[in-house]
Chains A and B, each alone.
Chain A
Amino acid sequence: MSTSIDFVVNGERQQLQVEPHETLVEVLRERLNLTGTKEGCGVGDCGTCIVLLDGQVVNSCLVLAVDINGREVTTIEGLVGADGLHPLQESFLNKGAFQCGFCTPAMIMSAKGLLDEDPAADEEEIKRALSGVLCRCGSYKKIVEAVKMAREMMRIPQ
C-alpha cells in the first residue's frame, strides 16, 4: 500500500513512493544514499540515527517515512554550506571530539538542534541535549568542549 511523500532533505525537494512500514532512517540510508546518518540499534536507545525534522532532533529509526510528508529533514550531509564547514564541524575537528566517528553525525546534529534554539546553552544544557547519543569511545569530554567552541563561533556575526 505505497504512498507518495513529498519532502525536503538538506534543502532539496524529494518525492518518493514509500511503504507505511519504512522508517525515515531506511529512506535516508537506503533510498537516498545519505549514509552519514547511522542506525546503531533501530529502537531509539543509542541516538546514532538522530536527524533534524523541522529543526527538532528525532530518532529517525522511530519515524515512519509516511510522517515526513511536507516536512523538512536535515542530516549531517546538509551541514556543509557554500562557505564550507558548519562551525560545529570545525569545532569537532579542532577539538578532536570524535574517535571512531560513528556517533559523530548524531552528536553534531544534536548540538545543532540545541544551539539553533538556545545559542547561549551552558554546559549542563549541552550535556542534557546530547544525553541521547551514546559514544562508546568516550569522547564526551571533548564533545562538550567542541560544542562550547562552536557556540562561541556562532555568536560572532559572520
Chain B
Amino acid sequence: MRRLKPFSYFSPRSVAEAVQILEREGPGALPLAGGTDLLVRQKRGDPPPKALINLKQISGLAEIEKQPGGVRIGALTSISALEHSALIRNDYHVLAQAAGLLGSPSIRNLGTIGGNIGRASPASDVAPALIALKARVIAQGPQGIKEFEVERFFRGPGTTFLLPGEVITHFFVPEPAARMAAVYERLGRRAGMDCALVGVAAALALVPGDSEATEVRVALAAVGPVPMRSKKAEEVLLSGSLTAERLKEAARAAAEECMPISDMRASAGYRKDMVRVLALRTLEAALSLARRNGHEHVD
C-alpha cells in the first residue's frame, strides 16, 4: 500500500506550545488530530507536510463538559464520544445523530470534532448539526483566542478562517430553547460506511401552542462550497403557522437556495431535488419531536 513519506514530527504538551511550533514551522506544518483525513490525503498523494504537529498528547482537549448555558466540547473529542455521550444524546441529540452517521465505528473512534470542522469538507455531517445548534468554535493562536460561529467558520471547500498558527481548542454549544427539536438526515449510496450526498439538519423551537416557530435553523451538507444555512427556508417557516403547505414551501426554498455541484457521486439536479425531499422530512420530524418535547423528555 502507499506509504507515508517522512516528516518532521512534534508532539507538544500544551496548546501554547502547539501554537508556537506551528508559527515557527510556518506553512507546510499541519496539526494532526485523529488522522482520518490528513493521513488519508497524505497516502493519496498530497505533497508531504514539512512537519506534523500531533495534538493528541495535549491533555484537556477531549472533554465534554456541561457548562452554564451550554456544553463545552474539546476539539479532540472523538466522533464516537459525541455519538455515545449521554449529555449530547439527551440535550443535543442532533449532534449525536449526525456523529453516528459518519464513516464507520473505527473511523469514529479516531476522528475528532476539531479535525472534522477544521477539515471544512462541504459534506461534513457534523457541521450542519452544529450550525443547527448555533454552535461556536474557539481557536487559539499567536494573536490569542478567537471565537467564530460555526456557520461563519468556513471560507471555502476545505478552508476555514483560521490563520496560520491557530488551532481549534474547543466548541461551545448553547443550550437549546426549551421547545426546540433538531433532526439530521442524509442520503448516501449504500447503508453503511458512507458519506453524505446530501444532508439536512432542521431545528425548530415552537411557541406555546405549537402552531408557530420562534426559532428555525435549516443547515445543509454537500450542496454548497461550505456547509450552509438556508435562510430562505427559515424565513418561510417564521412567516406564519406551521402548516403542511408551509413546510413544503420551506423545503422548496431550501432546494432553490442550495448550490450543489455535479461530481462523480451525484448530479447537481439530483442533489437539489433531494434537499427538497430531506428538508421536508427533517422539518416534519423536528416539528413532531418539538411538539412531543413540550410534554416529555426525549432519550
Contacts and interface: CB of A to CB of B under 8 A. Distances in A.
A62 B37 CA distance: 9
B143 interface: no
Contact of A58 (B5, B56, B106, B191): B106
B35 A132 contact: no
Given A21-B4, A67-B56, A62 B104 contact: no
Q: Provide the main secondary structure of the chain A interface.
A: mixed
A142 interface: no
Interface in A111-141: 113, 127-129, 131-132, 134
Interface string A60-91: 01111011000000000000000000000000
A132 B104 contact: yes
A20 B35 contact: no
A19 interface: yes
B105 A59 contact: no
A64 B54 contact: yes
Interface stretch (A40-48, A93-101, A150-158): A40-48
A64 B35 contact: yes
Contacts of A47: 104, 106
- Which interface class (under 10, 10 to 19, 20 to 34, 35 or more) fits A? 35 or more
B25 to A, nearest CB: 14
A20 B7 contact: yes
Contacts of B8: 1
B110 A59 contact: yes
A42 to B, nearest CB: 3
Q: Shortest 4 CB-CB distances between A and B: which pairs?
A: A132-B104, A42-B1, A131-B192, A20-B9
Interface of A: 1, 3, 19-23, 26, 39, 41-45, 47, 50, 53, 56-59, 61-64, 66-67, 110, 113, 127-129, 131-132, 134
Given A62-B35, A128-B192, 5 more contacts: A43-B39, A44-B106, A50-B106, A64-B54, A110-B105
